[in-house]
Homo-oligomer: A and B are copies of this chain.
Amino acid sequence: MKRQTVQRTAIEQVMRHSGGPMSIEDILIYGRKIVPSLNQATVYRNLKFLIDAGRIRQIIHPMLGALYEETEKGHHHHFHCHQCNRVFELPGCVLKQDSVVPKGFIVESHDIFLYGLCPCCAQEV
């Protein structure tokens, strides 16, 4: 994997300008606005390449399946609004990892997924 094709450039561009974590489908839809012939297999292959390169990260969201986001955003958590179905990135992390496990466990990392209503949808109710 060394050649900069229009497909790879398009996928990188889509990831860079995304407002939050994206599904394969999202990436495909936006990518095809740049390269109409863009194929699903190509997206999967390039995402794998970008993951191996440490540029993006895959999240397995319990409600939404596989999502992808840039690693440069750092550690944060995800809020899923069950009304508008959007995923929000929450800045910071308040979890003191070691305080949640009994003695003896060594915590190396964690994922937190939150569910509820976003400010927009909360107002409407």
Q: A residues within 8 Å of B by Cβ?
A: 59-60, 62-63, 77, 79, 82, 88, 90-97, 99-119, 122
Which residues does chain B contribute within 8 Å of A111, judged by CB atoms?
A: 62, 111-113
Which residues does chain B contribute within 8 Å of A94, judged by CB atoms?
A: 95-96, 99-100
Q: Evaluate contact between A100 and B114: CB separation under 8 angstroms.
A: yes
Q: For the complex, what is the distance from the CA of A105 to the CA of B92, rounded to whole Å?
A: 15
Which residues does chain B contribute within 8 Å of A116, judged by CB atoms?
A: 105-109
* Chain B minimum-CB-distance residue to A123: B104
Q: Evaluate contact between B77 and A104: CB separation under 8 angstroms.
A: no
Which residues does chain B contribute within 8 Å of A115, judged by CB atoms?
A: 107-110
Q: For the complex, what is the distance from the CA of A104 to the CA of B119, rounded to whole Å?
A: 4
* Chain B minimum-CB-distance residue to A97: B114
Instruction: Pick the most buried of A92, A96, A106: most chain B CB atoms within 10 A of its CB.
Output: A106
